[in-house]
């Protein structure tokens, strides 16, 4: 869903998200209900996600932020159907996340491109897997490759590309199936600050063109606020959602807002929350060992 130009462009404010009004609003496309995920480790069980419930509305851009090890990836993987719920459930577009769900796309922290395929064939992989003809799949791929500005590299193999280029290909590949939901796990985490800023602007631009709901994991609070409609702050293990913050910033946004004083004040509040949580997590680890 595109940005609504009629939305009040109120002064920079981070406020708790209001409870979703009942009518005339987009339906939740992702519904996480009482989800717990438990791992078996050597020293007993680890509760990575602890009874988390959340809704993501159709068209929303939601970020998950929290200290390292708090269960962000695990929660996202559960939304992708890559992690089995221990308790509770994940519904995407009304259905459970079981089996193949090509309407849900994923971009991982590492690009994970198929090294034996050219850029073109990597992007065409999804449509081919879904039974589209070769010509059709390659046409989709070429359009997306143009969109990410890598037409010159269409026939190159992944290992000949830089990290940023590879991650762009990974995004294009995930978009090739026209997913209704795009899950992104620290997709820019491995990039340098400069490339990262360019990629963020690219993603904002891209988002206006594709019609997808995006859930974005990051531990960079700037990135989260810049990109999102909502920021979910997770508490340290066991993973819970601590705060659900609505970002009322005008769109289109660019990295320019990052120097706005009001923005900075709000960022400080966010950081304090995360820092307290991080310290708690650290102390828990200390006492556990």
Ligand X SMILES: Nc1ncnc2c1ncn2[C@@H]1O[C@H](COP(=O)(O)OP(=O)(O)OP(=O)(O)O)[C@@H](O)[C@H]1O
Rg (CA), the chain: 19
Residues 123, 136, 187, CA angle at the centre, nearest 5°? Answer: 20
Q: Which of residues 73-132 bind Mg ion (CB under 5 A)?
A: 73
Residue 62 binding result from ligand X, other proteins, Mg ion, none, given CB thresholds of 5 to 8 Å by partner type: none
Measured from the CB of residue 123, what is the shortest distance to other proteins in angstroms?
A: 10
Contact pattern for other proteins over residues 79 through 118, marking x by CB under 8 A = -x-x-----------------xxx-xxx-x-x-xxxxxx-
Q: Which of residues 181-210 bind ligand X (CB under 6 A)?
A: none
C-alpha distances (whole Å) from 129 to each of 112, 117, 242 are 17, 14, 39
Cis link prior to 172 (omega < 30° from 0)?
Answer: no
Closer residue to ligand X in complex, CB, 105/278: 278
Rounded distance between C-alpha atoms, residue 67 and residue 274, angstroms: 7
Measured from the CB of residue 64, what is the shortest distance to Mg ion in angstroms?
A: 10
Q: Which of residues 37-96 bind ligand X (CB under 6 A)?
A: 39, 41, 46, 48, 66, 68-74
C-alpha distances (whole Å) from 236 to each of 6, 37, 197, 279 are 37, 14, 27, 9
Residue 215 binding result from other proteins, ligand X, Mg ion, none, given CB thresholds of 5 to 8 Å by partner type: none
**Four-residue CA torsion sign, 180, 186, 191, 195:** positive
113 close to 163: Cβ distance less than 8 angstroms: no
Question: Of 260, 248, 209, 278, whose CA–CA distance to 11 is shortest?
Answer: 248
Contact pattern for Mg ion over residues 58 through 77, marking x by CB under 5 A = ---------------x----
Measured from the CB of residue 17, what is the shortest distance to other proteins in angstroms?
A: 28
Residue 237 binding ligand X, by CB under 6 A:
yes
Closer residue to other proteins in complex, CB, 13/134: 134
Q: Which of residues 171-190 bind other proteins (CB under 8 A)?
A: 173-174, 176-177
Residue 219 binding ligand X, by CB under 6 A:
yes
Residue 129 binding other proteins, by CB under 8 A:
yes
Rounded distance between C-alpha atoms, residue 14 and residue 263, angstroms: 9
Helix (H, G, I), strand (E, B) or coil at 40: strand
Contact pattern for ligand X over residues 132 through 171, marking x by CB under 6 A = ----------------------------------------
| Encoded tokens for 269 | 């509040």
Helix (H, G, I), strand (E, B) or coil at 106: strand
Contact residues toward Mg ion (CB under 5 A) are: 73
Contact residues toward other proteins (CB under 8 A) are: 80, 82, 100-102, 104-106, 108, 110, 112-117, 125-126, 129-130, 157-159, 170, 173-174, 176-177
């Amino acid at each position: 869903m595109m940005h609504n130009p009629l939305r009040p462009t109120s002064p920079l404010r981070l406020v708790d998200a209001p409870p979703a009004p009942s009518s005339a609003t987009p339906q939740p496309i992702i519904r996480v209900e009482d989800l717990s995920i438990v791992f078996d480790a050597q020293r007993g069980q680890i509760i990575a996600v602890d009874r988390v419930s959340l809704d993501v509305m159709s068209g929303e851009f939601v970020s998950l932020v929290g200290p390292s090890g708090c269960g962000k990836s695990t929660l996202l993987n559960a939304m992708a159907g890559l992690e089995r719920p221990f308790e509770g459930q994940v519904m995407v577009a009304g259905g459970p996340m079981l089996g193949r769900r090509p309407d849900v796309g994923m971009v991982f922290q590492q690009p994970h491109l198929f090294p034996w395929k050219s850029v073109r064939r990597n992007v065409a992989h999804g449509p081919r897997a879904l039974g589209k003809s070769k010509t059709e799949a390659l046409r989709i791929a070429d359009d997306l490759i143009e969109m990410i500005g890598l037409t010159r590299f269409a026939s190159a193999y992944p290992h000949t590309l830089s990290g940023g280029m590879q991650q762009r290909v990974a995004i294009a590949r995930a978009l090739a199936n026209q997913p209704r939901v795009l899950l992104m796990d620290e997709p820019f985490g491995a990039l340098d600050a400069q490339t990262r800023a360019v990629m963020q602007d690219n993603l904002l631009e891209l988002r206006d063109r594709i019609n997808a709901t995006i859930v974005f994991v990051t531990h960079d609070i700037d990135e989260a606020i810049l990109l999102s409609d909502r920021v979910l702050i997770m508490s340290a293990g066991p993973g819970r959602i601590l705060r659900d913050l609505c970002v009322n910033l005008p769109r289109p946004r660019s990295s320019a807002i990052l120097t706005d004083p009001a923005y900075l004040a709000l960022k400080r509040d966010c950081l304090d929350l995360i820092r307290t949580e991080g310290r708690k997590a650290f102390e828990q680890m200390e006492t556990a060992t």
